[in-house]
């Protein structure tokens, strides 16, 4: 089955050879999203809530560009640079995914730049 790259307007320049999202049939795969603006500058440095909000809004833009909504997100992979940020990330995450959240995992990982506190990758099923 063919896949279609999803590159929403205002996406930051990729740090490697990848697309922000890919749609295959009714599934949207969202690459690991970091807190970067359209020029590739870090957003919310030192603020887990600001970075989480920016990352989820970026995920929303990819999913919506692929014809879905955040309600279609079935699975998230969350990477935190420091597990001390777990509660702050969850506070913002809960605002977006509410009472019927997607499946997920959350691990501590060294992210691509030290100013990044959180990275999230998603899978959404539309249709």
pLDDT per residue over 48-78, tens digit each? 999 999 999 999 999 999 999 999 999 999 9
Whether the predicted pLDDT of 127 surpasses 90: no
Give the C-alpha separation, 115 to 127, whole Å: 37
Within a 13 Å sphere around the CA of 123, how many CA atoms are in the beta-carbon half? Answer: 9
Q: What rounded mean pLDDT belongs to the chain?
A: 95
Predicted local distance difference test score (pLDDT) of residue 29 = 98
Q: How many CA atoms lie within 13 A of 87 on its CB side?
A: 1
Write out the residue range of the structural domain in which residue 117 sits: 4-125
Total domains in the chain come to: 1
Kindly report the CATH number assigned to the domain that includes residue 36. 3.30.1330.40
- The yes-or-no verdict on residue 11 having pLDDT over 90 is no
pLDDT value of residue 126: 95
């Amino acid at each position: 089955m063919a896949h279609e790259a999803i590159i929403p307007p205002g996406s930051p320049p990729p740090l490697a050879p990848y697309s922000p999202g890919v749609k295959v049939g009714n599934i949207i795969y969202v690459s690991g999203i970091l807190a970067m603006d359209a020029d590739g500058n870090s957003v919310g440095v030192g603020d887990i809530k600001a970075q989480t909000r920016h990352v989820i809004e970026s995920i929303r833009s990819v999913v919506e560009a692929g014809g879905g909504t955040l309600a279609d997100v079935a699975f998230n992979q969350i990477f935190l640079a420091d597990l001390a940020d777990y509660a702050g990330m969850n506070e913002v995450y809960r605002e977006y995914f509410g009472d019927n959240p997607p499946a997920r995992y959350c691990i501590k990982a060294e992210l691509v730049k030290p100013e990044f506190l959180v990275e999230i990758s998603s899978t959404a099923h539309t249709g």
